[in-house]
Amino acid sequence: MLAKYNIAQNLLTDEKIRYFTLAKLILNGSATVATEGIADLETMYTHFEQTNPYLAYAKVVGEVFANAKKFAPGSFAPDFSLQDLQGNTVFLSDFRGKVVYLDFWASWCHACLQQTPYIKELKQQLNDQDVVFLYVSVDKTTRLGVIWWLKKHYPACICAYPTV
């Protein structure tokens, strides 16, 4: 990604096309921060911010870069709240400092249900680790049916519903 940025910076002679291309490379790179890290993107953004004369590009690239930084490895995940099976509000931040396995699922999702034995196995393998398994139902069906299913398959879990 940084190599492409440097090539565009050095070879594109038309200023407007050059900065449009550099902006596009930063925008594309922002989508891969969670998997590829942020170091190259920060280098590109710093250069872009210091040299780009186009305010419209600066605004869009700045907003996207600020958002991408939120998802960089080592950053805290954005907080959200859910309602657990007992009706208590649970925040993701309640588990700060722990590894959280988030499983968004629905009772109508066949692929979600097929994962159940593998998730149980993973949970058993990590039983002595400080890992929280958080199962989030996105069902719009009756809550009682989902609660029954969760208790049957995940009796000792934190299971929740979006509060929205």
Calculate mean pLDDT across residues 17-42: 90
Residue 26 lies in a domain: yes
Q: Mean pLDDT check: name the lowest of 16-25, 50-59, 130-139.
A: 130-139
Instruction: Report pLDDT digits (tens) over 81-116.
Output: 887 777 788 888 998 888 888 888 877 788 888 888
Pairing of strands 81-84, 158-162: antiparallel
136's enclosing H/E stretch is strand 131-137
Residue 52 lies in a domain: yes
User: Mean pLDDT in the chain?
Assistant: 84
Check whether 151 has a pLDDT greater than 90: no
Residue 75 lies in a domain: no
Q: Which residue has the higher pLDDT, 20 or 139?
A: 20
What pLDDT is recorded for position 145? 62
Any idea what the Cα angle at residue 54 is, between residues 48 and 55, rounded to 5°? 100
Check whether 147 has a pLDDT greater than 70: no
Q: Which residue has the higher pLDDT, 49 or 157?
A: 49
What pLDDT is recorded for position 155? 59
137's enclosing H/E stretch is strand 131-137
Residue 139: give the domain boundaries: 81-162
Number of domains present in the structure of the chain = 2
Check whether 137 has a pLDDT greater than 50: yes
109 lies in the same domain as 139: yes
Q: What percent of the chain has pLDDT over 90?
A: 34
85 lies in the same domain as 153: yes
Q: Which of 69, 94, 128 is the last residue of a domain?
A: 69
User: Given strand 99-105, what is the order of strands in its sheet?
Assistant: 89-91, 81-84, 158-162, 131-137, 99-105
